[in-house]
Amino acid sequence: MVDTLDLGSSAVRCESSSLSFRTKIKNENMLAGLFALLVFLILGEAIQSWIAIPVPGSIIGMALLLIVIISRNKSPKNIEIAANKLAPLLPLFIIPISAGLITQADIIQQHGFKLLAILTISLIPGALVTALILKMGNRLANKSSNK
């Protein structure tokens, strides 16, 4: 039998088994980021109902957030943390849309080609705008890292 040292005397103890200080700070930053995202969402919904324009309130809220980010010339760290946590969950939002499509078979049969054409035409500008935003973001990130 091999003699082993007990963990208490030989192991280097860096952290306790409870949540560390860094984890608590990250969670608080993420909650602050989620709260900020919700504030922009509610603000967008309020503007949409007040002006009554045919644009979803969530789009208006995210446009306001984009304006804030551009005016500050950087994204707030807490919103960035929350967005990075939420990004892997985005595919889950496709499931309700898919279920809705299955229940609307008669509409799809009647207007399927028109819907496909609209989706295709709207996809191209969306992809181009996304690519331009990512390209500008990379340029800004490279400029700020070179300073």
Phi, psi of 25 (to 5 degrees): -65, -45
Which range (40-49, 66-75, 77-86, 96-105) has the least confidence?
96-105
pLDDT digits (tens, 9 = 90+) for 86-115: 888 888 877 777 777 778 888 888 988 998
The CA distances from residue 145 to 55, 133, 137, 139, 140, in Å, are 36, 18, 12, 10, 9
Distance CA(26)–CA(33), nearest Å, equals 10
Please name the residue that has the structure tokens 């989620």.
Answer: 34
Domain extents for the chain? Answer: 19-92, 104-147
Task: Please report the pLDDT score of residue 46 as a whole number.
Answer: 95
